[in-house]
Amino acid sequence: MNNYLKMEFWSISSNEGLARTAAAAFFSELDPTFEELADVRTAVSEAVTNAIVHGYREKMGIIKMECSTDELGLFTVIISDEGCGISDIEQAMQPFFTTARGEERTGMGFAVMQAFMDTVEVDSVPGMGTTVKMTKQASIKYE
Amino acid sequence: MNVAVERKGSCVMAKLSGEIDHHAAKSVREAIDSELDRGNVCELVLDFADVSFMDSSGLGVIFGRYNKLLAQGGSLKLKRVPKRIERILRMAGVYTLVDRKESKTERMRTDVSVDNFRSKCNE
């Protein structure tokens, strides 16, 4: 089923729940398993939290989330910010690497996204912002 | 997100309910730490039975409390962890840390019963 959703919201922490709930509701049209739905909720929560905590460093900014589905049951979500960007993406994606250790950040955000989604692509320009693109295949009706 | 903290002697039980994300982490941390900061805590049990969602911000809360207890000579235990949350805990290696201060028998478990908690508090 082809569908598309675009949201823009402020980088405030209460929007983390809004974003993951909206993404999961959109994905649910593909009749995913409970586990697939939970995976998308968690991965979206991680990406939006990264944008708030690391991208905008808790300052106000706009986060964009685009979701799409296709006729083969593939869900795609793109989360982008215009925050500080990431200078070394490979390092940032290493499990337990964080630039915010003092705030009890574990550095597991990207590791969770990679474990819970089928694909994760990160594009970032320091000073310009970060875009995270993730996909998840809904398995039941489309195998 | 709601946290109900109960203290019996040197044992603290925190019953968590709702969603633990970055937004909720601060209030969870503050609720638990207000009890830990009173000192003399030998065991903290986190009850996850009513937690419907947790991401890596929840891992930060767990690791943070683990470190705090370690500094005080106390231990952390997790109780009634739902399957949907079990996956992220195992992925981050939480049980290797939580189990570290337990006996060999206890190391095989990831659950602490209410009766066990109460009996330990009454010792």
The predicted-structure confidence for B26-60, as pLDDT tens digits, reads as follows 999 999 999 999 999 999 999 999 999 999 999 99
Find the mean pLDDT for residues B14-36.
96
How far A104 CA lies from chain B's nearest CA (Å)?
5
Of the options 2.60.40.1930, 3.90.1150.150, 2.130.10.10, 3.30.565.10, the CATH number for the domain spanning A3-137: 3.30.565.10
B22 CB neighbours in chain A (<8 A) are 13, 16, 45, 49, 52-53
Residues of A annotated as catalytic are: 46, 50, 105
Are A115 and B91 inside 8 Å of each other by CB?
yes
Say if the ipTM goes beyond 0.85: yes
- The answer to whether the beta carbons of residues B32 and B3 sit under 8 Å apart is yes
Angle subtended at Cα B57 by Cα B73 and Cα B8, rounded to the nearest 5 degrees: 40
**For residues B13 and B102, what is the distance between their CA atoms, to the nearest angstrom?**
17
The predicted-structure confidence for A25-50, as pLDDT tens digits, reads as follows 999 999 999 999 999 999 999 999 99
Residues of A engaging B, defined by a Cβ cutoff of 8 Å? 13-14, 16-17, 20, 35, 38, 41-42, 45-46, 49, 52-53, 103-106, 108-109, 111-112, 115
**For residues B90 and A115, what is the distance between their CA atoms, to the nearest angstrom?**
12
How far A42 CA lies from chain B's nearest CA (Å)?
6
**Cβ-defined contacts of A98-107 (< 8 Å, 24+):** A99/A54, A100/A53, A100/A54, A103/A53, A103/B60, A104/B25, A104/B29, A104/B60, A104/B61, A104/B63, A104/B64, A105/A53, A105/B56, A105/B57, A105/B60, A106/B56, A106/B59, A106/B60, A106/B63, A106/B92
All structural domains of chain B, each given as residue ranges with its CATH number in brackets, are 2-122 (3.30.750.24)
